[in-house]
Amino acid sequence: MSFSSLGLSEPLLRAIAGRDYAAPTPIQAAAIPAVLRGEDVWASAQTGSGKTAAFVLPIIDRLVAEGPRGRGRFVRALILVPTRELAAQIAEEVAVYGSQLPREAALKTLVAVGGVSINPQMMALGGGADIVVATPGRLLDLLDHNALSLASVSTLVLDEADRLFALGFADELARILALLPVRRQTLLFSATFPPAVRTLAENILSNAVRIAIAATPEGRPDIRQRAIEVDASQRTQLLRNLILFHEWTRVLVFVATRYATEHVAEKLCRLGIPAAALHGELSQGARTQALADFKAGRLRVLLATDVASRGIDIEQLPVVVNYDLPRSPADYTHRIGRTGRAGESGVAVSFISAETDAHFRLIEKRNRVPLEREQIAGFEPVETIVPGPAPTGGIKGKRKSKKDKLREAAGLPPTAAPKPAPAASTLETGDLFPFSRRPPQPPRSR
Ligand code: AMP
């Protein structure tokens, strides 16, 4: 299979050649012809599988084939995404793939996202745009300001569609959908479509071509998943040790709260590891800078909330760490999918404490990836919680320590009363220099 057999035009094939892609990925091979035919598409494929080009390439070709846009504030293709960073990334892809179009066919592409002044975006929308890549909130602000009209949108893309259907975006999405023409092409893309959003997805599609790229062993991203048991208070120090021992050059670390991103980043910096925070309350300038510094290798660690879990493509990112566990199995898939992209291999490490063990079991069960628990020498967990029910349906199970299990087997009482376990997102301040407790040792998997 080659790109030229998919029906794409010469200028696009030239732009693709500049990328040195050997062949279309399965999602591209399946989606591009369907989008070119004007069909609705509902596509699920693994993270890092080339979804962006699967919709950007045929959209460009269709818009060029339709001829120049008319006058007015009209938009022809609308790409909705959940984060600003993803919007910027997709617009960059549009620019690259459209770079070989003849001047008269050049497409006007705009990014409409929050966190920056709305005025330049309003000005830029004068005369309309061929492609707008937007986050829902800012798009609605621009609509409220009458800066654009969606009445002529011929193609709507929901990238990371399940996220856009979920709480937090659902109302905004509904308002936007109400302003779009009923007759349009709709394309939904994501790596995950939890059952709860499937009906919503079906409702906005019409005779969609359903593309589900099976997770074959060959097609599956090459991500080695590890689950390391560690007490919550030891995570920063363990993270530092792992980074130094494995000589990880670039690590994306997910934490639960904005506060934690900054707190842990600060600690790592103090421990001599260049790190920065990325979360939704930073200014857009700071967000862009943090991501750019990380991509350019000026930062070794980026501490992020789930704002960085969707769609973001960071080349040569060998490691993702779940310092705090994600809320849902789908979030887990998206987070770890930041590594092992485009044929590269990657490692995804999750820190599991006694308190979060049951939650992680649920993630493993839903994603059908049972993982062996590891402990790292010098960081064996000491926190225990009393035995409880089996971890099904999100009930927090309680487990005994290995030491207590051994003592129990030998007919001895437990060593000590169980300590209360900290909440999953609690960050202890006492873990700054735990090396004072015991001499440093290289981490070693058991
Ligand atoms: P995406 O899933 O769109 O974020 O793409 C993931 C990565 O795959 C990006 O770095 C793309 O540049 C890369 N990519 C996209 N299409 C191909 C292809 N046909 N062959 C190799 N790499 C690709």
Domains, the chain, in order of start with CATH, read 3-213 (3.40.50.300), 223-404 (3.40.50.300)
The model's pLDDT over 345-402, given as tens digits with 9 standing for 90+, comes to 899 999 999 999 999 999 999 988 899 999 999 999 998 765 555 444 333 334 455 5
Query: Ligand 1 within 6 A of 21 CB?
Result: yes
What is the reported pLDDT for 345? 86
In angstroms, the CA 173 to CA 352 distance is 35
- How many A from CA of 224 to the centre of ligand 1? 20
- What is the best residue among 16, 44, 55, 341 to mutate for testing ligand 1's pocket, by most ligand atoms within 8 Å of CB? 341
Q: Extract the tokens encoding 283.
A: 């200014």
Query: Ligand 1 within 6 A of 196 CB?
Result: no
Band the pLDDT of 191: cuts 50, 70, 90.
Answer: confident
- 302 phi/psi in degrees, rounded to 5: -115, 120
- How many A from CA of 278 to the centre of ligand 1? 24
- What is the best residue among 313, 338, 345 to mutate for testing ligand 1's pocket, by most ligand atoms within 8 Å of CB? 313
What is the reported pLDDT for 388? 54
In angstroms, the CA 163 to CA 172 distance is 12
Mean pLDDT of the region 272-285: 93
Query: Ligand 1 within 6 A of 342 CB?
Result: yes
Query: Ligand 1 within 6 A of 314 CB?
Result: no
What is the reported pLDDT for 437? 25
The model's pLDDT over 10-69, given as tens digits with 9 standing for 90+, comes to 999 999 999 989 899 999 999 999 999 999 999 998 888 899 999 999 999 999 999 888
- What is the best residue among 12, 20, 25 to mutate for testing ligand 1's pocket, by most ligand atoms within 8 Å of CB? 25
| Comparison of pLDDT for 363 and 70, the residue scoring more | 363
Query: Ligand 1 within 6 A of 89 CB?
Result: no
- 115 phi/psi in degrees, rounded to 5: 85, -10
What is the reported pLDDT for 442? 41
Query: Which DSSP category does 106 fall into?
Result: P
What is the reported pLDDT for 340? 86
- How many A from CA of 345 to the centre of ligand 1? 14
Query: From atom 20 of ligand 1, which residue's Cα is the shortest distance away?
Result: 21
Query: From atom 11 of ligand 1, which residue's Cα is the shortest distance away?
Result: 50
What is the reported pLDDT for 82? 93
Of 319, 363, 350, 352, nearest in space to 223 by CA? 319
Alpha-carbon distances, residue 41 vs 54, 155, 160, 161, 301 (angstroms) = 11, 11, 14, 12, 37
Query: How many alpha carbons lie under 13 Å from residue 154 in its C-beta half-sphere?
Result: 19
Helix orientation angle between 357-367 and 329-336, rounded to the nearest 10 degrees: 80
Sequence-distant contacts of 393-399: CB under 8 A, at least 24 apart:
393/362, 394/358, 394/359, 394/362, 395/358, 396/355, 396/358, 396/359, 397/357, 397/358, 397/361, 398/354, 398/358, 399/354, 399/357
Mean pLDDT of the region 83-110: 95
Mean pLDDT of the region 409-427: 40
Query: Ligand 1 within 6 A of 346 CB?
Result: no
Query: Ligand 1 within 6 A of 24 CB?
Result: yes
- How many A from CA of 364 to the centre of ligand 1? 27
Query: From atom 18 of ligand 1, which residue's Cα is the shortest distance away?
Result: 21
Q: Extract the tokens encoding 129.
A: 């745009």
What is the reported pLDDT for 402? 52
| Comparison of pLDDT for 274 and 163, the residue scoring more | 274
Whether the per-residue pLDDT at 311 is higher than 90: the answer is no
The model's pLDDT over 203-222, given as tens digits with 9 standing for 90+, comes to 999 999 999 887 665 556 78
Query: Ligand 1 within 6 A of 53 CB?
Result: yes
In angstroms, the CA 221 to CA 338 distance is 10
Atom of ligand 1 nearest to the CA of 45: 2
| DSSP3 helix / strand / coil % (the chain, rounded to 5) | 40, 15, 45
- How many A from CA of 320 to the centre of ligand 1? 19
What is the reported pLDDT for 341? 80
**Any idea which residue has 């798009």 for tokens?**
139
Query: From atom 15 of ligand 1, which residue's Cα is the shortest distance away?
Result: 50
Burial category of 177 from C-beta neighbours within 10 Å (exposed 0-12, middle 13-18, buried 19 and up): middle
Q: Would you call 323 helix, strand, or coil by DSSP? A: coil
Query: Ligand 1 within 6 A of 259 CB?
Result: no
Query: Which DSSP category does 273 fall into?
Result: -
In angstroms, the CA 309 to CA 280 distance is 12
What is the reported pLDDT for 200? 86
What is the reported pLDDT for 405? 54
